[in-house]
Structure formats: structure tokens, C-alpha cells
Structure 1
């Protein structure tokens, strides 16, 4: 096994190890973020659960109260039409209006309560924004590790020509082989033609 093959295997082994490492790291980071997200979302929902239940009960009571007052008011109206008891009807109207005011105040308080609970940080949006920022930070670390993998792979092939190939090129070009090819015809043009042939066959002209 030549030294380049050994170097290539070593670099690829290192790249494989780095790749496994970054995969494990990303898997760990994502799992940690997943656990934190689950906890934060659960806490968010649980923090407003009691308030939501209380407000829901109040809203149901408001509905029931409104229906009851409306029913009593309708009953009083029919009674007034039947008996002409306008004074009693007046009392019922005032009572219904007062009761409606109480129900309206109760509703306003309930709305404020739920709005306050929903505004209490962190909101679900805050949690997702935090997650997004954390993932961006983590991605920077992942990218740095990925760059190490690419660098390790790039080391597999050396862009510089092997020393042995350079020495062979010097051997062909600097030791009179062009003269041997020229044979008895030592005309400078023929010698240059033989020299050019060596360069062409050896790919010398391909080198920048």
C-alpha cells in the first residue's frame, strides 16, 4: 500500500469519525431542545388551565343568568298585558337591568382575567422564538464541525504533484534524452522537435 493510499484511508477514517460525532451531537442537541420544548409548552398550558376553567364556569353562569333574567322579564311582560300591573312590570324591568349590569361586569372581569393569564410570559410564541434562536446558535456549532469533515476529506488528495513524478520529469527533460531521440540529425530544429515531443507525451504542457 502506497503512502497516498495510506494517507487517504487515514483521512477517510478521521472524516467518518467526525461525521459520526456530529450526528451524535446534533441528535443530542435536538433531543435536549425537544425535551425543553415539551416542558415549556406543558407549563404554558398548565399555567392558564385553572384560570381557563374558572372563566369558562363564569361564562356558563353568565349565560344561565341571562336566560333566567330574560325568562322572568318575559313572564312579567305577559302578566302586565293580562293584569295591567304596570308598577310590578317597572320593578321587574329595573331589576332585570340591574342584573344585566352585574352580568356584564362579571363578563368584563372574566375577559380581563383570561387576557392577563394569556399575557403572562412566556407565551407559546415566546417559547418558539427562544427555540428558533437556540437552534440558530447550535447550527453555527454544527456548521463548524461539518467544516472539519470537509477539510479532512479534502486532505485525501494532495493537489501538489508527487516528488517522484517531479523527479521523473526532470530526468526526462534534463538528461539529454532529446538528443538520443534526435539520433544522427543534430539540427537544432530537429532537437527542439524531439524535446517538444517529450514534453507533449509527458503532459508537460498541461502544467500551468
Structure 2
């Protein structure tokens, strides 16, 4: 086994270990974020659950009260038309107006309570924004680990030519092989052609470009 093959196997083994490590890290980080998200969302919902139930009961009571007052007002109106009982009608009108004021106060109070509960931090949006920022920070460390994997693989390929190949190039270039190739025709132009032939076939001109 050549040294490059050994280096490749070593680098791939290292890259595999690094990849396994980053997968474990990402899985752990995501699970931790998932657990935290579940807890925060549950706490958010539970924190306003009792208020929501109370407000819902108040709203139902407002609906029932409004309907009842309206029925009583309509009854009084019919009696006014039928019997001319104006005093009863006046009493019902004043009572209905007072009752409406009370119901409106209840409604406004319920609205304020639910708005206050919804505005209490952290909101669901705050929770998601927090998680997004955390994931961005975590992704930075994941990226650094991933870069190590790429670097360990890239180290296998050496951009520099092996010393053995360089020595072979020097052997062909510097030890008179162009003269041997020229044979008996030692004309400088022919020798240069032979030298150029060696460079062309050996790829020296390509590497120089």
C-alpha cells in the first residue's frame, strides 16, 4: 500500500469519526431546543388558560344578560302599546340602560384582562425568535465542525507533485535524453525539437501554463 493510499484511509477514517461526532452534536442540540420549546410553549398556554376560561365565562354572562334585558325591554314596549303603561316603560328603559352600562364595563374589563395576559412576556412569537437565534448560534459551531471534515478530506489530495514525479521530470530534462532522441542529427534545431517533444509528452508545458 502506497503512502497516499495510507494517507487517504487515515483521512477518511478521521472524516468518518468527525462526521459521526457532528451528527451526534446536532441531534443533541436539536433535541435540547425541542424540549425547551415544548416547555416554554406549554408554560405560555398554561399561564393564560385560567384567564381565558374566566373571560369566556364573563362573555357568556354578558350575552345572556344582554338577551334577558332586551326581552324585558320588548315586553315593556308591548305593554306600552297595548295598555299605555308609560311608567313601566320608563322604568324598563332606565333599568336597561343601567344594565347595559354594567355589561359594557364587564366587557371592557374582560378585554383588558385578556390583552394583559397576551402581552405578558414571553409571547409565543418571543419564544420562536429566541429559538431561532439559538439555532443560528449553534449552526456556527456546526459549520466549524463541518469545515474540519472537509479539511481532513482535502488533505488527502496534495496539490504539489510527488517528489518521485519531480525527480523523473528532472531525469528526462537534464540527463541528455534529448540528445539520445536526436540520434546522429545533432543540429541545434533538431535537438530543440526533441527537447520540445519530451516536454510535450511529459506534460511539462501544461504544468508551466
Q: What band does the TM-score fall into relative to the shorter chain? A: over 0.9
User: In the TM superposition, what is the alpha-carbon distance from 1:72 to its structure 2 partner?
Assistant: 0.9
Residue in 2 aligned with 1:200? 200
Equivalent residue runs for 1:6-21 within 5 Å? 6-21=6-21
User: In the TM superposition, what is the alpha-carbon distance from 1:18 to its structure 2 partner?
Assistant: 1.0
Residues 26-61 of structure 1: CA deviation (Å, up to 9, x unaligned): 111111111111111111111000000000000000
Structure 1 residue matching 2:19: 3-state secondary structure: helix
Residue in 1 aligned with 2:23? 23
Residue in 2 aligned with 1:161? 161
Q: How many corresponding residue pairs?
A: 208
Structure 1 residue matching 2:122: 3-state secondary structure: coil
Q: In structure 1, what is the Cα distance between the partners aligned to 2:184 and 2:84?
A: 147
Structure 2 residue matching 1:161: 3-state secondary structure: coil
Residue in 2 aligned with 1:139? 139
- TM-score scaled by length of structure 2: 0.97
Residue in 1 aligned with 2:174? 174
- Are 1:60 and 2:76 matched, yes or no? no
Q: In structure 2, what is the Cα distance between the partners aligned to 1:178 and 1:89?
A: 128
Residue ranges of structure 2 left out of the alignment (5+ in a row): none
Structure 2 residue matching 1:186: 3-state secondary structure: coil
Q: In structure 2, what is the Cα distance between the partners aligned to 1:173 and 1:40?
A: 74
Q: In structure 1, what is the Cα distance between the partners aligned to 2:145 and 2:193?
A: 54
Q: In structure 1, what is the Cα distance between the partners aligned to 2:81 and 2:201?
A: 121
Residue in 2 aligned with 1:72? 72
Q: In structure 2, what is the Cα distance between the partners aligned to 1:143 and 1:38?
A: 26
User: In the TM superposition, what is the alpha-carbon distance from 1:153 to its structure 2 partner?
Assistant: 1.1
User: In the TM superposition, what is the alpha-carbon distance from 1:82 to its structure 2 partner?
Assistant: 2.0
Residue ranges of structure 1 left out of the alignment (5+ in a row): none
